[in-house]
Structure 1
């Protein structure tokens, strides 16, 4: 009798535990292209008088922040599309994973978050921008894909469905969202992973018709650090007329913002439509009653400059380029409205997705799951990380090694010590006062140089042989542009 009572009690406890512990969640991983960390209205509101884009409104993304977790210090380890997207997949630094530029396909596809979740029983699907060079075909690791080649185009973009090209009509991110929603509806009785990768807000900054004039009349504010120019400006021979990457820097006189206002307005118009498409996903989950046990992660592949340091691209190691948004909502498990200030990386995305599904991360992954941060269980979290960028042919951005800590930053350009930069971010968040060559910065410089060496060793840093060769002279410095002689 006692044995029967004990057995019944144990069964009851197991049932209660199962009810309290949700089953494996559905996972929806959404990321944009070139979206700055502050291109969210929740951040603009938080910045108050210092906000540069206070007119920008993202109610659906703000909903994710209010109903979930917002990481306020999320970064990329390489601010460039293909390298960052490959890191999102396989949690590897770009000096190891084969992708050091935008024109190389992803060969290392054997172990990604998608392959591991598929092994764990997930139905896996990929929608939108893949962009590993101009790779075609069904996206590796995913059971289903509806994706476009390379950069695609904003309107009527051909979509490869499981590798077979089909025409589409309309604005590309609307199309990708519709395809993702159809897949969610068809697989609502299964456990699924959906990755939805938007083209927005990459150039040429073409919003859908409904938002072409949404920000046509808003007042644009110039950045406070536009005059703090990058040290390699006009110092590298690119082989291009005018010696400039088309997006990289100011090429004519006058304020950067005034000369590029249409780009800014178009960028935010496109991201406004992204917010609406996130709203469509949320509505779908609500209507199917999938919202409670579905994790939504929203992020970007890198940030973007709008005149800061005189730049209009990414690549460089300044804050506007390397900081990204990161929002996570999981109603069945995570708290509402939580803000986390620890540093997390795009390197952490893949192990976090696996952690959410209860799957162990492969040994090849270099990132760390941020799930313990959300649940206040993290120990010995990072306080610094290595940033890397490798020179690309016909481009004016040199190879970069940088260290970002919680309060400071060291930026090095191998072979060009005179360009080195050092910033105390606690007193100079705009990175306007370079301390590298000052007596004031000597102690901080020594500390960060030591920490950078530790980080290089920890991640196995090398300059990979698949990176584009740098245009160096016999002294190991970048070849300077030829100057026209004035007769």
Structure 2
């Protein structure tokens, strides 16, 4: 009798332990989705380009995964973010450019997670007008936001914060994590930084960080755009178009240095308080005098601008990296790291002198490609490298998959959960890209295209009908357009066939292109 009782008690104990263990495995993960603005993958040290050091962002890769082929569907701020939220291409979710309105009433993955019991927050930059839907708490920058003493809109109420935007955004995020969320619920936090968006205004402590560094420009910095006529029409050249006063801070009191956007630069300067302005002047006034003394011209001016740009751009990233470290440290200290998915990405890539450019928009690699780093100790092995073609289209279904929440049928992205865990190698063989904001700033023509693991086909249209084909294995910097090369005629035909297949798969068409163009031109009061 005694033995039977012991056996019964032991059986009950095993059942209880099994249930607890099963409950732990089924526990929904928290999600911290970190997005910066215009952060080039070249400027994250985990990608190995040697421009700067980002130890905290690198922690995510070291303790999880780095994605070598992360891409966007549309390389411009607001449309990229709309794709991220909805899991649908721009021509489906309606936000094809920065001018068109975004319909917050449509579904997004945060709304789905709310239904699944998550508490949700959006903090920082979203660059989409209207009160964010799907979030229990929002505290976001209006529009592009300001680097110094920025305004935020907290749950619909606008207020100004004293300090530096990157640190303020981090402080708001940590305050929500520590004090505002319900501790017994799984959470989703979108933690989105303004930096390193133009005009690359560094934090006080990092103003001098790269003063002693001279950067070597990319090999194609003085690109002459042979056989790439659309690229030649750009207005985003560091030498020709980067504004000395607005972009490079050469705001001299005498007004001797020419700047197209001097008024905007003055407004940003005036926004600072006395302490901030004193630190700013101590750093930039000697540079202004040095520039006046040097009076660089031609290639010397191009290289001077490139180095000033790189120093400021990379300095703003250092503050972003600090913020990532603070959030990761909190997750560790609070015992949340094991059950929290952390993703770091950008809304698109950026040119750091490649082809002589800054900005984004083109389907060439540096702006089409975006950094993606991801940590989730329960499923992702440290040091994982993901080489598959992943897009921002895929974030929404992936997060829903991890949360064990049904993925709506109209989502066009795919969950890469099993790809990153190594459970499957079955994945797409091509990705699709669209860009619509033309005529517009930087003069990048409308285009669409596809990329496979090796080749890229681009079609520029509107007031041209130009095709480009690249062999990325032989020509990773995209200097040699092979579209009319007889040696690649079979590849050209295969890529055209794939282009048609992918467009049909996602529901894009020439008719949709025309409708989007007409809406865009109407917004700009341009006759079609």
Q: TM-score range by the shorter chain?
A: 0.7 to 0.9
Q: Deviations over 1:355-411 (max 9, x none)?
A: 111111111210011111022223530111111111334331111111100011111
Q: Is the 8 A contact 2:66 2:386 kept in 1?
A: yes
Q: Residues 135-183 of structure 1: CA distance to partner in whole angstroms, max 9, x if unpaired?
A: 243x211010011110011010111110101110111111111011011
Q: Does 1:251 align with 2:240?
A: yes
Out of 229, 232, 255, the position equivalent to 2:230 is 232
The structure that has the greater radius of gyration is 2
Paired position in structure 2 for 1:216:
211
2:121 to 125, 129, 142: 125
Corresponding residue for residue 425 of structure 1:
472
2:197 matched residue in structure 1: 202
RMSD: 2.5
Q: Which of 177, 184, 193 matches 2:177?
A: 184
Q: Deviations over 1:18-57 (max 9, x none)?
A: 266151111100001111122211212xxxxxx3xx2400
Contact 1:30–1:195 (8 Å) recurs in 2: yes
What TM-score do the two structures reach when normalised by structure 1? 0.87
Q: Could you report, residue by residue, the CA deviation over 1:267-324 in whole angstroms, capped at 9, with x for unpaired residues?
A: 1111111000000001111221111111111101000112212322100010001111
**Contact residue 362 and residue 444 of structure 2 kept, 8 A:** yes
Q: Hey, what's the Cα distance between the residues in 1 that align with 2:421 and 2:299?
A: 49
Which structure shows the bigger proportion of residues in helix conformation? 2
Q: Is the 8 A contact 2:117 2:185 kept in 1?
A: no
The CA distance in 1 between the partners of 2:520 and 2:25, in whole Å, is 53
Which segment is superposed worse, 410-419 or 214-223? 410-419
Deviation track 1:315-358 (CA, whole Å, cap 9, x = no partner) reads 00100011111111112332111111011000001111111111
The 8 Å contact of residues 468 and 481 in structure 2, kept in 1 or not, is answered as yes
Q: Report the alpha carbon displacement of residue 254 of structure 1 after superposing the two structures with TM.
A: 2.5
Between stretches 444-453 and 182-191, larger displacement belongs to 182-191
Asked if 1:381 corresponds to 2:427, the answer is yes
8 Å Cα contact 1:228-1:432 kept in structure 2 = no
**In the alignment, structure 1 residue 147 sits paired with structure 2 residue 140:** yes
SS of aligned partner of 2:95: coil
The CA deviation at 1:103 is 2.2
- Distance across 2 between alignment mates of 1:289 and 1:6: 31
Kept in 1, the 8 Å contact 2:220–2:354? The answer is yes
Equivalent-residue separation in structure 2 for 1:8 and 1:233 (angstroms): 71
Residue 214 of structure 2 contacts residue 307 of structure 2 at CA under 8 Å; is this kept in 1? no
The equivalent of 1:29 in structure 2 is 33
Comparing 282-291 and 318-327, the one that deviates more: 282-291
Distance 1:21 1:143 in 2: 26
SS at match of 2:230: coil
Residue 398 (structure 1) aligned with residue 387 (structure 2): no
Change beyond 3 A, Cα 1:413–1:7: same
The answer on 1:451 being equivalent to 2:498 is yes
In the aligned structure 2, how far is the partner of 1:109 from the partner of 1:202? Answer: 28
1: distance between equivalents of 2:438 and 2:78?
12
Which aligned pairs between 1:69-468 and structure 2 lie closer than 5 A?
69-132=65-128, 135-137=129-131, 139-186=132-179, 187=181, 188-226=183-221, 227=223, 229=225, 230-233=228-231, 235=233, 245=235, 247=236, 250-251=239-240, 253-254=298-299, 256-378=302-424, 380-395=426-441, 396-414=443-461, 419-462=466-509, 463-464=512-513, 465-467=515-517
- 1:4, distance to aligned residue in structure 2 (A): 6.3
Conserved in 1, the CA contact under 8 Å of 2:34 and 2:342?
A: yes
Consecutive unaligned residues in structure 2, runs of 5 or more: 242-297, 522-526
**Which region of structure 1 is more displaced relative to structure 2, 28-37 or 1-10?**
1-10
Q: CA deviation at 1:6?
A: 11
* Whole-angstrom CA distance in 1 between matches of 2:64 and 2:357: 33
1:316/1:249 CA distance change after superposition, 3 Å:
farther
Q: Which residue of 2 aligns with 1:41?
A: 45
| 1:63 positional shift | 0.9
- Count of matched residue positions in the alignment of Structure 1 and Structure 2: 453
Does structure 2 conserve the Cα–Cα contact (< 8 Å) formed by 1:55 and 1:218? no
- Give the TM-score of the pair, scaled to structure 2: 0.81
